[in-house]
Amino acid sequence: MRDVIALVLGGGRGTRLFPLTGYRSKPAVPLGTKYRLIDIPLSNCINSGINRAYVLTQFMSVSLHRHVRQTYRFDQFNGGFVELLAAQETMDAGSDWYEGTADAVRKNLKYLEQPWIKYVLILSGDQLYRMDYNSMMKTHLDTQAEVTIAGLPCTREQAKAFGIMRFDDTGRIEGFLEKPQTDEEMDLVKTDPAWIDSRGIPSQGRDLVASMGIYLFNRD
């Protein structure tokens, strides 16, 4: 996985976690005794053999910067790094605060021009999960996809808070609906539970698949 760079989005306001986010960004919220939410995607990366990552920061990022600097130190021989990229005003017109995930990536494209980078893994810095990204990479390569999106089965009640994907029999995404609220809307993007089971993930009768906000792109 030495040709993969991870972009971890660490700029969330975290309004739903207030007052925990009163003085820090959401990825900097403490987890357990000495960890922060940002450690989840970064540890998943390291355990998957991805030791090069940029953390994109924006809101109330002081404690997040401090934690990342003090925690992620690689020796000079393995080439690993976790580097902070704060939102900044530049000479380009309109280049200051990030206006969403795509804009955050767009404003940092110059850091992806290094010749060793073939794949870009985009992660959220405030999610709690365990994942081996090697499995995602294998699917990406086997299907010769340009973009691969991780998903999880969810109930219809849970679907109201997520972007829902519909797949064809090969796993290609052929429909997407952001936060559907009615059964009629959900029926437009439902997936056969048997197909979900065939991918090695127990559907337990669930017929909707939510995007996890984890994206794997070919750089070129």
Give the tens place of pLDDT for each residue, 22-57. Answer: 778 888 888 888 899 999 999 999 999 999 999 999
**Main-chain phi, psi angles of 29, to 5 degrees:** -65, 130
Yes or no: say if 157 and 207 are a contact pair by the CB < 8 Å rule: no
Chain centroid, CA 45 distance in Å:
11
So where are the chain's domains? 1-131, 150-212
Q: What is the CATH number of domain 1-131?
A: 3.90.550.10
Residue 79's pLDDT is 84
Residue 10's pLDDT is 82
Residue 119's pLDDT is 98
Chain centroid, CA 162 distance in Å:
14
Yes or no: say if 57 and 11 are a contact pair by the CB < 8 Å rule: yes
Tokens of 205: 């009768």
Residues 6 or more apart whose CB falls under 8 angstroms from that of 177 comprise: 163, 164, 185, 186, 188, 189
